[in-house]
Amino acid sequence: MTGEEKILKKRIREQQVVHLMISLYCRKKHGSSKNMLCSFCLELDEYAAGRSENCPFIKTKTFCSSCTVHCYRPDMRNRIREVMKFSGPRMLFYHPVLAVRHLFSTVCSRMKNKKTV
């Protein structure tokens, strides 16, 4: 797999995880159906996908929360934080493989950062 393919795969996985978290939030908080998002959550999902699509740091970062540059507008940053705070712990029950993969990546990233400091 080439470097470009790895980056594309990483970007797609990140977008899928964020979409799943927003979908879970929307379903539980706004009562939407499993495959539909309300307009409030759809706007956030499209915004997050756009940010991920244009991220210049995708090669080196693990997740947006570990990025040194926060490209989200303040209002959208607050909204995505609320979604993450709600959906993050629940992902273990709804999407356990993704949750464990995220946890593993986060721990590995922190360990790597400690070694370089």
pLDDT digits (tens, 9 = 90+) for 85-115: 999 999 999 999 988 888 887 787 777 767 6
Hey, what are 40's tokens?
Answer: 């409030």
Distance CA 41, CA 117 (A): 38
Q: What is the pLDDT of residue 63?
A: 72
Q: What is the pLDDT of residue 24?
A: 96
| Ranges of the chain with pLDDT below 50 | none
Q: What is the pLDDT of residue 30?
A: 95
- Estimate the crossing angle of helix 74-94 against helix 39-53, to 10 degrees: 100
Distance CA 34, CA 56 (A): 32
Q: What is the pLDDT of residue 10?
A: 80
Distance CA 117, CA 99 (A): 27
Sequence letter at residue 62: T
